Chains A and B, each alone.
Chain A
């Protein structure tokens, strides 16, 4: 057996490469243990750490006591319960490929997140907490978030889980344990534009899911948009335009404009200014419609 002795680590080479420190690392094995550990002063959850560690490197505060969720087995469950897919918050993005036949829309969004290595570490729960690129696909899948806190377990519609600034409306002890979603069905599409083809946050990402009746008319629709500069949101006006449509090759009049209008409050960020975000979302919404119903590409 080899033992590595403590050595002095080198100084960071740039301002943004801040070393991160914590005083303790706790590895609970059950949800109850995790919630109890998080209730201690200075404690906070870490799952894959793909956001939290980056955040700390850029100078953000990280919990002094890290409550690691990787050892809580029930957070890694993927199970179909009467047609509803329950995705444990600890499921890493790449595992969603295994249920792509049930939730193709969600896998389509997950496979565009970061890069292959990060997708083996980053979790669905973490992505939901920070309102990242998976959320539009989850919103379009009628996602319900399951949370366990000091007062017990409860469920919260994902549409309403984040405040206007994109922060979760739960406290630091509440543990997101799973997300329950509806199957994607046959008609769905996810379209995303980022600054790079890979390893880029969405400037805008649009998720569309629709139900079609026997006569080929759209009976119901969900359309959600998300991006780095704004809170992910459904667009009811766009959904209403899609309902009742019969022609799969031409988007309904006003679809892009409805999505554009829903982003009227977006100022933009380093990924792109507000006008660019709206332009991109407009185009992606129309492409998503054609892809969901037309040429079979998603």
Chain B
């Protein structure tokens, strides 16, 4: 079957796909966009997060035909040239990655969170990032980065006693 959609701002076509191929498989194997990663393949870990029509979704659970006529954004499509987004810059500045495997999914979730809730409380941030697992960081630096990117970077002073 043929699927036409927008990928990181560019019109693309997929031909010959199995109807049950996941969006994650298509992005990685057909377009070489490996920022979205397979973790659990069951929607529990957040490593595969992408944006469809501006909202974060798990690419592992979304079948490729479902994006017919829609706009898909992967982590590769966030930055404008060499200029990182505030979320990406905050993840960099706050050392919010160690092995980096979950980072792209974390960044996509955080970007969606701040688009929906520009001034999150720490509770908002924790809820918004609750779909992302990290085995390395213990989450503190990730939450620091999210709060810093919002301009509400007070996490270091909250709940540390």
Q: A54–B127 contact, CB under 8 A?
A: no
Contacts A10-B29, A198-B130 given; does A49 touch B15 at CB 8 Å: no
Contact B12 A121 (CB under 8 A): no
A4-B13, A20-B20, A120-B56 given; A25·B63 CB < 8 A: yes
Please measure, in the bound complex, the distance between the C-alpha atom of A294 and the C-alpha atom of B73, giving whole angstroms.
45
- Among candidates B20, B55, B112, B128, residue contacting A21 with C-beta atoms closer than 8 Å: B20
Cβ-defined partner of B66 (8 Å) among A3, A24, A68, A111: A68
Task: Give, as a whole number of angstroms, the nearest-CB distance from B63 to chain A.
Answer: 6
Whole-angstrom CA separation of A120 from B51 in the bound complex: 10
Contact A118–B18 (Cβ < 8 Å): no
| A132–chain B nearest beta-carbon distance, Å | 13
A-chain residues with CB within 8 Å of residue B38 when the two chains form the complex? 17
Q: Are A6 and B16 touching (Cβ within 8 A)?
A: yes
Binding site secondary structure of chain A: loop
Q: How near does chain B come to A28, taking the closest CB pair, in angstroms?
A: 13
The CA-CA distance from A294 to B58 in the complex, in Å, is 38
B61 partner, pick from A23, A111, A121, beta carbons under 8 A: A121
For A17, the chain B residues whose CB sits under 8 A away are 38, 41
Instruction: Given A2-B12, A20-B20, A198-B130, decide whether A49 and B63 contact each other with a Cβ distance below 8 A.
Output: yes
Which of chain A's residues have a CB closer than 8 A to the CB of B130? 115-116, 197-199
User: Please, which residue of chain A has its CB at the minimum distance from the CB of B66?
Assistant: A70
Please measure, in the bound complex, the distance between the C-alpha atom of A9 and the C-alpha atom of B17, giving whole angstroms. 11
Is B19 within 8 A of A25, CB to CB? yes
Tell me the smallest distance from the CB of B99 to a CB of chain A, in Å.
17
In the complex, which residues 22-44 of chain B have their Cβ closer than 8 Å to any Cβ of chain A? 22, 25-26, 29-31, 38, 41-44
Q: A25-B19, A118-B43 are in contact. Are A4 and B26 (CB under 8 A)?
A: yes
- A2 and B10 CA atoms in complex are apart in Å by 8
Q: A53 and B31 in contact (CB under 8 A), knowing A66-B20, A117-B46?
A: no
Q: B1-23: contact bitstring with A at CB < 8 Å (1 yes, 0 no)?
A: 10000010011111111111110
Which 7 pairs of residues, A with B, have the shortest CB-CB distance?
A: A115-B131, A198-B130, A25-B19, A4-B30, A6-B16, A22-B20, A25-B65
6 A-B pairs with C-beta separation under 8 A:
A7-B29, A20-B20, A46-B63, A68-B65, A114-B43, A116-B128
Q: Which residues of A contact B (CB under 8 A)?
A: 1-7, 9-10, 17, 19-25, 27, 46, 48-50, 53-54, 56-58, 62, 66, 68, 70, 94, 111, 114-118, 120-121, 197-199
